[in-house]
Amino acid sequence: MRATSPINAVNRLADVRQTLTDALDSAASVIATAEADDLRVHRVRRDLKCAAALIPLFAPSVGRATKAARRMVRSVHQSLGSARDVAAMQMTLRRLDVSDASKAALAALIETRRRTTSRSPDDRLQQAESLRSLALEAKAWRVEGPENALALKTIESAYRTARRLGRKAFKRGHPEELHRLRRRVIALGHRLEVWSPADEARNRQFSRLRNLLGTHRDLGILAEFADGSALLDAKTADELRRAIAAKQGAARHRAQRLFSRVFEPSSRETIKLL
Q: pTM for the full model? A: 0.87
Banded pLDDT at 266 (limits 50, 70, 90)? low
pLDDT reported for residue 273: 52
Average pLDDT, the chain: 87
Query: Cα separations (Å) of 240 from 72, 91, 102, 103?
Result: 37, 15, 7, 9
| Domains in the chain with CATH codes | 9-273 (1.40.20.10)
The whole-angstrom separation of Cα 60 and Cα 69 is 14
Residue 78 in this model has a pLDDT that exceeds 60: yes
When pLDDT is averaged across residues 107-123 and rounded to a whole number, the result is 82
Per-residue confidence at 37, pLDDT binned at 50, 70, 90? low
The conformation of residue 115, written as its DSSP 8-state character, comes to T
d(C-alpha 97, C-alpha 152), whole Å:
44
Report how far residue 48's alpha carbon sits from residue 31's, in angstroms, rounded to the nearest whole number.
11
Sign of CA pseudo-dihedral 173, 87, 113, 92? negative
Q: 80 Cβ partners below 8 Å, 6+ apart?
A: 34, 41, 44, 45, 48
60/79 Cα distance (integer angstroms): 29
What are 40-71's pLDDT values in tens digits? Answer: 788 899 999 999 999 999 998 888 899 999 99
CA of 114: how far to CAs of 41, 90, 165, 189, 238, in Å?
Answer: 13, 10, 33, 30, 24
Confidence of residue 148 (pLDDT cuts 50, 70, 90): confident
Q: How confident is the model at residue 77 (pLDDT cuts 50, 70, 90)?
A: very high
What is the full DSSP assignment across 15-29? HHHHHHHHHHHHHHH
Helix or strand run (H / E) with residue 172: helix 147-172
Q: pLDDT band at residue 272, thresholds of 50, 70 and 90?
A: low
